[in-house]
Amino acid sequence: MCLRGCGCDRSGVGQGVLGLRAALLKRIAAHVGTPTYVYSADLIRNEVRQLQGALARIPHSIFYSMKANSNLSLLGLLRGLGVGVDIVSGGELERALAAGFAPDDIVFSGVGKSPRELERAVEVGVGLINLESAGELQSLRGVTEAMARKANVGVRVNPDVTIATHPYTQTGAEGMKFGIPVDEVLDIARDIATSPYLHLASIGMHLGSQIAAAHAYAEGARKLGSLIAELRGSGVDTLRSVDVGGGMAIPYGDRPGLPMREFVEAVAPVAVETGLTLLLEPGRLLVGNAGALITRVLYCKRSGGRTFAVVDAGMNDFMRPSYYQAEHPISVIGADDAAPDSLEPVDVVGPICETGDYLGLARRLPGLKPGALLAVHAAGAYGFSMSSTYNSRPRAAEVLVDGERVGLIRARETIEDLWNREEAEPQWLPSI
């Protein structure tokens, strides 16, 4: 029976929140306030080691996709575990450098890198720049020529593989904005070869996110394998790696995770058969289940036959429920895990003036009353990193628990932070 109030048939709360004692989470909430994201260093280490272990037989490099969670302390932790980083913007590039990543350990992905961002990437010597269009190739060509600097490039292919996930997290199907269509890759490779500054080092894909079925990876990897053969047949002999992207699903609520063994069986052949190094860009897998959002119940009320718990975290803090209808387990911290079946379902909603502002609907939660502390599970990825200040709400604090130590890794934003780049009187621009 589900004890997390998510309506699934899994038991979960027995393992608590991130394997941490309720008393500790209560102390964190009392000290740092709520809402607060709490992460477990041990759980992140476990995830990385499991992935590294599963890939042990295959030459590989893991590049953590930092859009999932780009807190500098987490980046430092991951760097220490021998992981590189996958970035998609100039801001993420500077974060990666600030966190101490060597440029060589950075892969620059993303569908629209600006000339300025490409310039900076070439200047610092990023290890690999994954191109997503002919236009972007021209942009990078211009940048490298102007700087007389070389760059390793990859081609992100759109392999036309459809995955069963939320439509907003599919990226690898035909007709989507991502990647270069298979039938254009050869021309792009020829074009790259004409530049003395560009070196085609990698071919890759990224199929989407929260992918639980390994066969999608197998299908994409097979297509990459054929392309690699075709490229080699036409004289391209510079490839060093094949990049299968990220997207590995984590289990949460009634959502299944991607079985690691099946994943490795799906992607290993393309690396083994081509003799290329396997690159991976996992985001959620490494941090998703290592984080929880801690929020406090402000009020309980009834309306139109429904019961609501109004909490102090909203869709601005955690937008996955309202944006993707994601059903993250919610539990009451320190409440008796006694069977909640007898309890009436409660909508856990935020304070924001939007009907879509909720963290969970129709949850059966024991011990729910004003002042109760709730944990929203599996919130380590795409939680804080997608948060905003909508409704002029300062963004949440972030805390890392490492063994017995508890560290603040991002202070709660202040009210002044909300407008510190605004002008109460317009700064008129006379030259425009």
Write the interaction track for ligand LLP spanning residues 93-132; mark x where CB under 6 A is met and - where it is not.
----------------x-----------------------
Position of tokens 């690898």?
A: 172
Tokens in use for 6? 């998510």
Our CB check for ligand LLP shows the closer of 195 and 385 to be: 385
Our CB check for ligand LLP shows the closer of 164 and 415 to be: 164
Nearest to 87 by CA among 61, 121, 124, 41: 121
Residue nearest to ligand LLP (CB): 283
Our CB check for ligand LLP shows the closer of 245 and 291 to be: 245
Nearest to 156 by CA among 113, 185, 122: 185
Find the catalytic residue in 6, 8, 300, 353. Answer: 353
**Binding of ligand LLP by 357 (CB under 6 A):** no
Cα–Cα distances in angstroms (integers) from residue 173 to residues 107, 147, 162, 397, in the given order: 22, 36, 5, 37
**Binding of ligand LLP by 285 (CB under 6 A):** yes
**Binding of ligand LLP by 92 (CB under 6 A):** no
Q: At what angle do helices 185-193 and 214-233 cross, to 10 degrees?
A: 50
Our CB check for ligand LLP shows the closer of 68 and 198 to be: 68
Which part of the chain contacts ligand LLP (CB under 6 A), choosing from 74-82, 244-252, 404-412, 421-429? Answer: 244-252
Our CB check for ligand LLP shows the closer of 67 and 113 to be: 67
CB of 318 to ligand LLP, least distance (A): 10
Residues 37, 379 contacting (CB under 8 angstroms): yes
Which part of the chain contacts ligand LLP (CB under 6 A), choosing from 25-33, 70-78, 215-223, 282-290? Answer: 282-290
Cα–Cα distances in angstroms (integers) from residue 80 to residues 84, 108, 116, 286, 400, in the given order: 10, 20, 30, 14, 15
Our CB check for ligand LLP shows the closer of 206 and 393 to be: 206
Backbone angles phi, psi at 113, to 5 degrees: -80, 130
Within 316-335, the residues that bind ligand LLP by CB under 6 A are 320, 324
Q: Which amino acid is at 205?
A: M
CB of 176 to ligand LLP, least distance (A): 12
**Binding of ligand LLP by 395 (CB under 6 A):** no
Q: Which of 12, 220, 253, 282 binds ligand LLP (CB under 6 A)?
A: 282
**Binding of ligand LLP by 281 (CB under 6 A):** yes
**Binding of ligand LLP by 170 (CB under 6 A):** no
Backbone angles phi, psi at 189, to 5 degrees: -60, -40
Nearest to 131 by CA among 155, 104, 107, 160: 155
Q: Which of 209, 241, 322, 331 binds ligand LLP (CB under 6 A)?
A: 209
Alpha-carbon radius of gyration of the chain:
23
**Binding of ligand LLP by 68 (CB under 6 A):** yes
Torsion of CA 171, 274, 107, 80, to 10 degrees: 120
Q: Which of 283, 314, 329, 360 binds ligand LLP (CB under 6 A)?
A: 283
Catalytic residue status for 6: no
For 295, other C-beta atoms within 10 Å of its C-beta total: 28
Tokens in use for 30? 């009392």
Write the interaction track for ligand LLP spanning residues 26-65; mark x where CB under 6 A is met and - where it is not.
---------------------------------------x
Our CB check for ligand LLP shows the closer of 210 and 331 to be: 210
**Binding of ligand LLP by 247 (CB under 6 A):** yes
**Binding stretches for ligand LLP (CB under 6 A):** 65, 67-68, 86, 109, 169, 206, 209-210, 245-248, 281-285, 320, 324, 381-382, 386
The residues carrying an active-site annotation are: 353
